Structure 1
Amino acid sequence: MKRAIGLIPMLLWASGAVAQDAASEATRAAQAELAARLPLDDPADMANATRGKIAEIADGVILGKDGRIVWDRRPYAFLAADQAPDTVNPSLWRQARLNAVHGLFEVVPGKIWQVRGYDISVMTIIRGESGWIVVDPLLTEEAAAAGWKLFADTVEAKAGKRPIRAVIFTHSHSDHFGGVGGVVTPEQVRREKIRIIAPHGFSEEATAENVLAGNAMGRRALYMFGAILPPGPTGQVDTGLGPKLSSGTIGYMEPTETVPAAGATLTIDGLVFDFLDAAGTEAPAEFVFYIPAYKALHTTEVVTHNLHNILTLRGAQVRDALHWSKVIDAMLLKWGGTAEVALASHHWPTWGQGAVAKWLADQRDAYRYVHDRTLFLANRGATLHELADQTAEAPVQGRDFSTRDYYGTLNHNMKATYQRYFGWWDGNPAHFNPLPPEQSAPKYVALAGGPDKLLAAGKAAIAAGDYRWAAELLDKLVFAQPDSQDARAALASAYDQLGYQAESGAWRNYYLAAAATLRGTELDTLTGNGQSRSFVSAIPTAVFFDALATRFDAAKGAALAGTFQFVLPDSREAVAVVVGGGVEFPRHGVTDPAPTATITIDRKTLDDVMLGQAQFPALLQSGAIRIDGDRAAFLSWFALHPPADPRFNVVVP
């Protein structure tokens, strides 16, 4: 049974209509235990996070061209407090305060600068022989433009204006290339012959990752990044990887050149860059690089100041922890003895040859620990959920904050590694075809003796501080009786405490966002970002039609058969969509000799549809689409592609 989230009225968090719980005694004890065993007052990271700061954007506020606020750090003023409140894990509080430091920073005097704290990611500017080299221009054009203006107003005002000679995209995730249009324009790239350099495979991976599964990834990302939570000590404080995602326009530009899998040494504006391939670590297309003249190592997102995700909560393909550790070791062997500063696509730099080498070694060991402990236990019979609970944190995590669970976690990374080798099933036949939650939940409630007894058991678990067990029990009750306010409130209370205790920003956000959904206080937000025409136009036509096929309603279209030939004159492409037996199979580059109907439409017009700027009925009337053959069959087929609901339920039926 599918229920709309709107059954419970949306309320502003600040209204006080539905209050969150305070930190329980068990949560306060857990926070105190962690604080007692970690050197939270070690000043080294804060010294590095603030080192070289030369300017900042006033109040941390960025406006779009229309005057809309796209970045605002003012609601995060609560992070100024040294002491963590009881409702925030003290280690995560420390990380959030480090990530909250924003501004323009001089990393290598007169040579390298970073813009930090205006997105989840970091933009780096490198001085070449005659101009600037920009690395990873953030997620959105508005944030990138503001960061570049801060740099130009501060550095160029003194050193003189210089042209941008190159832009480097270190990997295929949009928070590292989506803001490129805020730094350079396509016309500027062509006119000034600006080099855009990316790893091999970048174009396909950058534009395709979120297209096929984008709706589900987007919905889960709202929980993971806390976008449906207000900032505050009982709300969103940080993601662990960075403050939050900027809101605005996500763009794209095609690389002018790519670095091959073998790596390469390139001279960019008179400066030598030594590239090492890192594909298949944090991103499918990724590299790291070293600048010998500056003794500077850019570790991209392979090495940051947290343990990263082997499988993100929003969803992605499972990454390879073993390969990840080996790439870090290759960096250590190649540059660990010479690099005097290491900087990344997130967080703050590390200075000093010894410190850089130690950072690389510790990070390498963290990912190797994830991989090897998983297989050590799995090969002795431990299952996906058992092995993570049997494993204490890695020894390195107790002494190096950069390896702690601020974003990815040892728990989930081990489960992801198990999944990579063995799949989702644990080998127990009782688990390979279980009843779905909406069918099993009423049976559990009946077994417990009814909803009142199950609710009482859940509340007793909460009172005992056994929040994981409470969540498991009360989730059954909510799925059996989703309209029960008592069940929702109790489950939300369990999620509150789990969120408060979480060291991972992603775990905290997900727990607290789930509690907000149960209470009806989830902020009415779909996304703060919009894909630009440049991004949509870069999506390969083959990927577009594969994504369209995922929307085909096979149940209603089981009897439909035919071939629909698409002709795209402006891009000189053809796609034959073969339909039959409830399956839709696009053949890119194929022209069928006897199609059911031929649809002639420009790729640019398809982009208009994807951007929501045009609808097929109006396009048919205007003549922007020509249909030859069985028009009725085409319209019947096209009607079998309903859009997915971007607000589908996550924590309730």
Structure 2
Amino acid sequence: MAEKDLRQDATAATRAANEAMAAGLPFEDRRDFEEAAKGLVAPLPNGGVVRGRDGGALWDLSRFDFIHDDAPAPETVNPSLWRQMQLTVQGGLYEVVPGLYQVRTLDLSNITFVEGDTGVIAFDPLISAETAAAALELYYAHRPRRPIVAVVYSHSHVDHFGGIRGIVDEADVRAGRVRIVAPEGFLEAAVAENVLAGNVMSRRSSYMYGNLLPADPKGQVGAGLGVTTSSGSVTLIPPTHTVSQTGERMTIDGLEFEFMMAPDSEAPAEMHWFIDRFKALTAAENCCHTLHNTYTIRGAKIRDPLAWSKYLEQTVELWGDRVEVMYGMHHWPAWGRERVLELLGMGRDGYRFINDETLRLANHGFGPVEIAEQVEFPPRLSRHWAMRGYYGSLNHNVKATYVNYLGWFDGNPATLHTLPPVEAGRRYVEFMGGADAVLSRARGAFELGDYRWVVEVVNHLVFADPANQAARDLQAAALEQLGYQSESGPWRNFYLTAAKELREGVRQLPTPSTASADSVRAMSLDLFVDYLGVRLNGAKAGDREITIACRFPDVRAEWTLLVRNGALSQRHGIAADADATLTLNRTDLDAIVLRTTTLPALLEAGTVTLDGNADAVHDFLGLLDDFEFWFDIVTP
């Protein structure tokens, strides 16, 4: 028996809000549709479905067949976001220029294939090995089957390296037959982001990309930057060469590459490059057909819009007089110098505006929420499709910029030490006359279309009494309407996923891996100890002092772990006063982390040796937390 669909239709207020937005945007500008369709060689095979070994779908673009170029926006989807997804959902093998090809919409990102003198160079091999392999086979179905001779990672986010083993055999990398090129700092940034805060970031990502929602006009329609994320094998092969300087040149299979460093822009490690033979430029993910995130709401370190703006200007200065095409790691290319310079210039101005306008208003004494409500792009920027907030949003980027300069505190002491949500919720509900009074007044606000206020008020009641289903249902209904109105794909997905969990509770699905096997193997020992420090329960450790020395013969490294005052530190070398000394290979450590074995099992087998006080090691392991993935987000 099918479950009852609890989702509601768009209200009159939502229909009016979406109609008002549509009236203010240049839908008559069809250049994006022409560019998105240009150069199609072949559509995606198998209806855009990629399956794993067990036959399950790891990527299924057919779920989004309801999004058509000629279909009007449903009442439950913001018309600007609908337009973006009509463009983004188009997939297949495309010729950008002869010799440069892209497979688009076989994952969140694009994979690019460039033909050199003897082989193929691939850029940014998607999230999953399975989708990357399918993309390569599509390319080979229409182009000569020549070997991959190099892979270039543009930056350190997983959708730009995770599929590497689907197109490259590591044995060929070790033998020197395949080069892996990446910006300086790539490996550290790629691994650290997926480990230290990996659990909470992945849980929030399940909201951001709408992975828990059905694909339909009341659910998942995409993420603005792409459709959604694949769910295959995330892999990583470390780079064999890192680019460290702007202006660095490299010949790869007869093609002349010129690189430009862009660290701490869209990613901690990122670079742009120009291929002279094709007069082709990529600005990596710093110039897409959307306003990007200077802060991603899945959670990550804040990005610098001022540096971002300056990198786009530097790109114009370096290659603006030579460029004839710009292709991206998301979305569709732009052809012609004038069009490329338009996109780069608008991006430059948009990120600079976010930075400077935020600081201007901050210096007038406004706080982050006040500034975010005031800041609007000037008319030309506001009507430029590639700076609309499909993935980032002006609102949350402005708040992030404030925090980047001034931190989370807005300067008002009333917000310096607020009560935690449950305690504040109980008191607010009591002040407002009890649960029935809150619900009555909130329902009145809902009927008026004041959904933001309903969500804010009823949230206090939900945290005061999470078992109050009437409160949960009302908040869900308000969040749903905010989702239907959202131009940002991630905002829509957050709102609608929250509504789903308020109605149905948290449903435990197969848990995505926050640290793949390749990521664990790529971790430095220093980073690994940092990760253990995150897991150490400081309150439980209290004043306990534990000293454990570790020898790693296979990598010729020696470390000492120090538990002091509820914190874990590390020191090079073996401490003479260690409570215990472990001798184990780094590969054994990787196996323990990946849970393919346990320390007791390795000790029993004699693979690992322990000298000294075994209880010290046991006590230390007992202080480490395990993280539950399916923690509550919209309830206590």
Spell out, residue by residue over 1:317-373, the C-alpha distance to the aligned partner (whole angstroms, 9 max, x if none). Answer: 111101100000111122223211101111100011111111111111111111111
Partner SS, residue 280 of structure 1: coil
Q: Match for residue 138 of structure 2?
A: 150
Does residue 1:382 correspond to 2:366, yes or no?
A: yes
How large is the RMSD of aligned CA atoms in angstroms? 1.5
Partner SS, residue 219 of structure 2: coil
CA distance in 2, matches of 1:67, 1:530: 23
Alignment of 1:290-305 (within 5 A): 290-305=274-289
Does residue 1:176 correspond to 2:185, yes or no?
A: no
Deviation at 1:531, TM superposition (A): 5.1
CA distance in 2, matches of 1:68, 1:340: 42
Paired amino acid for 1:97: Q
Deviation at 1:549, TM superposition (A): 1.1
Deviation at 1:462, TM superposition (A): 1.0
CA distance in 1, matches of 2:606, 2:76: 59
Does residue 1:52 correspond to 2:39, yes or no?
A: yes
CA distance in 2, matches of 1:457, 1:494: 14
Deviation at 1:585, TM superposition (A): 1.2
Does residue 1:92 correspond to 2:45, yes or no?
A: no
* Residue 411 to residue 286, structure 1, CA distance change in 2 (3 Å): same
Q: Match for residue 237 of structure 1?
A: 221
**Mind listing any 5+ residue stretches in structure 1 that lack a counterpart?**
1-11
Q: Match for residue 353 of structure 2?
A: 369
Within the candidate set 608, 618, 627, 1:625 is matched to 608
CA distance in 1, matches of 2:228, 2:493: 11
Deviation at 1:213, TM superposition (A): 1.0
Is this contact kept in 1: 2:511–2:629, CA < 8 A? no
* Residue 85 to residue 638, structure 1, CA distance change in 2 (3 Å): same
Q: Match for residue 481 of structure 1?
A: 465
Q: Match for residue 556 of structure 1?
A: 540
Within the candidate set 585, 593, 604, 2:576 is matched to 593
Deviation at 1:525, TM superposition (A): 2.9
CA distance in 1, matches of 2:213, 2:558: 45
Spell out, residue by residue over 1:49-86, the C-alpha distance to the aligned partner (whole angstroms, 9 max, x if none). Answer: 11111112220011123322111112111112521111
CA distance in 1, matches of 2:26, 2:312: 26
Within the candidate set 218, 229, 236, 1:252 is matched to 236
CA distance in 2, matches of 1:266, 1:191: 20
Spell out, residue by residue over 1:88-143, the C-alpha distance to the aligned partner (whole angstroms, 9 max, x if none). Answer: 1011011111111111000002x100010011111001111221111111111001
CA distance in 1, matches of 2:587, 2:214: 38
Deviation at 1:626, TM superposition (A): 1.7
Paired amino acid for 1:106: E
Within the candidate set 587, 591, 600, 1:608 is matched to 591
CA distance in 2, matches of 1:431, 1:307: 30
Q: Match for residue 127 of structure 1?
A: 115
Paired amino acid for 1:510: F
Deviation at 1:394, TM superposition (A): 3.8
* Residue 154 to residue 527, structure 1, CA distance change in 2 (3 Å): farther
Deviation at 1:399, TM superposition (A): 2.5
CA distance in 2, matches of 1:393, 1:230: 33
Q: Match for residue 6 of structure 1?
A: none
**Mind listing any 5+ residue stretches in structure 2 that lack a counterpart?**
none
Q: Match for residue 647 of structure 1?
A: 630
Spell out, residue by residue over 1:202-240, the C-alpha distance to the aligned partner (whole angstroms, 9 max, x if none). Answer: 111111122111111111111111111121111111111
Deviation at 1:42, TM superposition (A): 2.9
CA distance in 1, matches of 2:292, 2:359: 19
Partner SS, residue 222 of structure 2: coil
Is this contact kept in 2: 1:228–1:522, CA < 8 A? no
Is this contact kept in 2: 1:409–1:504, CA < 8 A? yes
Deviation at 1:522, TM superposition (A): 5.4
Spell out, residue by residue over 1:579-610, the C-alpha distance to the aligned partner (whole angstroms, 9 max, x if none). Answer: 122222122x3221220001122211221222
Partner SS, residue 297 of structure 1: strand
Does residue 1:67 correspond to 2:31, yes or no?
A: no
Deviation at 1:622, TM superposition (A): 2.6
Is this contact kept in 1: 2:483–2:496, CA < 8 A? yes
Paired amino acid for 2:273: F
Spell out, residue by residue over 1:416-465, the C-alpha distance to the aligned partner (whole angstroms, 9 max, x if none). Answer: 00001100000001111111111111000000000100111211111111
Name which of structure 1's ranges 450-459 and 331-340 shifts more when overlaid on structure 2: 331-340
CA distance in 2, matches of 1:234, 1:569: 57
Does residue 1:635 correspond to 2:605, yes or no?
A: no
CA distance in 1, matches of 2:606, 2:232: 33
Partner SS, residue 446 of structure 1: helix
Is this contact kept in 2: 1:369–1:394, CA < 8 A? no
Deviation at 1:532, TM superposition (A): 4.3
Q: Match for residue 4 of structure 1?
A: none
Does residue 1:470 correspond to 2:454, yes or no?
A: yes
Spell out, residue by residue over 1:491-521, the C-alpha distance to the aligned partner (whole angstroms, 9 max, x if none). Answer: 0011001111000001000011111110116
CA distance in 2, matches of 1:572, 1:649: 43
CA distance in 1, matches of 2:39, 2:386: 20
CA distance in 2, matches of 1:528, 1:565: 33
CA distance in 2, matches of 1:584, 1:200: 28
Within the candidate set 22, 30, 33, 1:35 is matched to 22
Percent identical across equivalent pairs?
A: 43
CA distance in 1, matches of 2:354, 2:627: 36
Deviation at 1:556, TM superposition (A): 1.8
CA distance in 2, matches of 1:151, 1:434: 56
Paired amino acid for 1:89: N
Spell out, residue by residue over 1:246-296, the C-alpha distance to the aligned partner (whole angstroms, 9 max, x if none). Answer: 111111111111111334111111111111111111011110001121111
CA distance in 1, matches of 2:199, 2:217: 30
* Residue 278 to residue 542, structure 1, CA distance change in 2 (3 Å): same
Spell out, residue by residue over 1:146-199, the C-alpha distance to the aligned partner (whole angstroms, 9 max, x if none). Answer: 00011011112xxxx322221101111111011110001111223352111111
Structure 1 runs of 4+ off > 4 angstroms?
526-532
Normalising by structure 1, we get a TM-score of: 0.95
Q: Match for residue 444 of structure 1?
A: 428
Is this contact kept in 2: 1:363–1:403, CA < 8 A? yes
CA distance in 1, matches of 2:138, 2:513: 22
Is this contact kept in 2: 1:332–1:360, CA < 8 A? yes
Does residue 1:270 correspond to 2:254, yes or no?
A: yes
* Residue 561 to residue 532, structure 1, CA distance change in 2 (3 Å): closer
Within the candidate set 292, 302, 306, 1:308 is matched to 292
Partner SS, residue 151 of structure 2: strand
Q: Match for residue 21 of structure 1?
A: 8
Q: Match for residue 182 of structure 2?
A: 198
* Residue 207 to residue 92, structure 1, CA distance change in 2 (3 Å): same
CA distance in 2, matches of 1:540, 1:395: 48
Aligned length: 634
Deviation at 1:527, TM superposition (A): 4.3
Is this contact kept in 2: 1:396–1:403, CA < 8 A? no
Spell out, residue by residue over 1:528-584, the C-alpha distance to the aligned partner (whole angstroms, 9 max, x if none). Answer: 567543332111111111111111112222132121111122222222111122222
CA distance in 1, matches of 2:19, 2:434: 38
Name which of structure 1's ranges 551-560 and 471-480 shifts more when overlaid on structure 2: 551-560
Deviation at 1:392, TM superposition (A): 2.1
Paired amino acid for 1:92: L
CA distance in 2, matches of 1:140, 1:508: 25
Partner SS, residue 113 of structure 2: strand
Deviation at 1:29, TM superposition (A): 0.3
Partner SS, residue 444 of structure 2: helix
